[in-house]
Amino acid sequence: MSKLRVHALTVSIDGYVAGPDQTLDTPMGIGTEHLHDWMFPTRTWHQIIGEPGGSDGIDERFAAEGFEGIGATIMGRNMFGPVRGEWAPVAGEEWRGWWGPDPVYHHPVFVLTHYEHDPIEMEGGTTFFFVTDGIESALDQARTAAGSDDIRLGGGAATVRQYLRAGLIDELHLVISPLLLGGGERLFDDDLGDAVKGYECVEVTAGEGATHVRLTRR
């Protein structure tokens, strides 16, 4: 069966995945400007933003893995965009994600939300589907869409925690970035309960810009 995988989920040394005060201008919250610095030099990131070159080291290997064998993506609504509550235009237009007309996904993306919304078909094979009946439904739909490929679970942290609590994540690639945020949203928050005990750390590898940790379900 296809796996549900988390990739490049980046935390600070003090355990935060995002800062406080997420807005349109600061989608990752305050203070997180450098949290993903490990990723920007990589070849994978260069490809995403359409620039040549990029590094081919350890950080690149981990960044690239997140795009290999993935047939569908699931993400929380806060990763999709800044709109909260009922859907509403942003700057006068329908919000269609952070990723421009041809998003990086090139496959079906299932956005978890409490508010119904018609699918949005983008260029390059990405279609955003909006799922209002829960994380297991989203996973079922993503599995069907992915076929024999795996499913990548994006953020935010609250979404990852929901799937962790339900024991539905198969592999989690965590990146520890060498900085302190001093506050924000935790990945390993108390609401996880005993869910973490179902996972084990199978690899720790020092990259050029961060430390890569691989967790798998026991």
- Report the nearest approach of a copy of itself to the CB of residue 103 (Å): 31
Question: DSSP labels for 113-160?
Answer: -SS----EE-GGG-EEEEE-S-HHHHHHHHHHHHTTSEEEE---HHHH
Question: Judged by CB under 8 A, does residue 215 bind a copy of itself?
Answer: yes
**Nearest-angstrom CA–CA distance, 154 and 159:** 8
Which segment (95-103, 139-147, 152-160, 182-190) binds a copy of itself by CB under 8 A? 182-190
Q: How far is the CB of 174 from a copy of itself (least distance, A)?
A: 7
Residue closer to a copy of itself, measured from CB, 16 or 80? 16
| CB 95, CB 81: distance < 8 Å | yes
| Site size for a copy of itself (CB under 8 A) | 30
Looking at the Cβ atoms of 144 and 205, the one nearer to a copy of itself is 205
Buried-state track 114-134, b at ≥16 Cβ within 10 A, e below 16? eeebeebebeeebebbbbeee
Pick the binder of a copy of itself from 151, 201, 216, 217 (CB under 8 A): 201
Q: Per the structure block, which two tokens stand in for 85? A: 């509550």
Q: Candidates 11-19, 48-56, 94-102, 129-137 — which segment interacts with a copy of itself by CB under 8 A?
A: 11-19
Rounded to whole angstroms, how far apart are CA atoms 84 and 129? 17
When asked if residue 192 is in the footprint of a copy of itself (CB under 8 A), the reply is yes
168 binds a copy of itself (CB under 8 A): no
Among 8, 39, 142, 176, binds a copy of itself (CB under 8 A): 176
- Identify which of 122, 79, 85 has the alpha carbon closest to the alpha carbon of residue 102: 122
- The DSSP code for 63 is H
Residues lying near a copy of itself in the complex (CB under 8 A) are found at 13-15, 174, 176, 178-183, 186-188, 190, 192, 194-197, 199-201, 204-206, 210-211, 213, 215
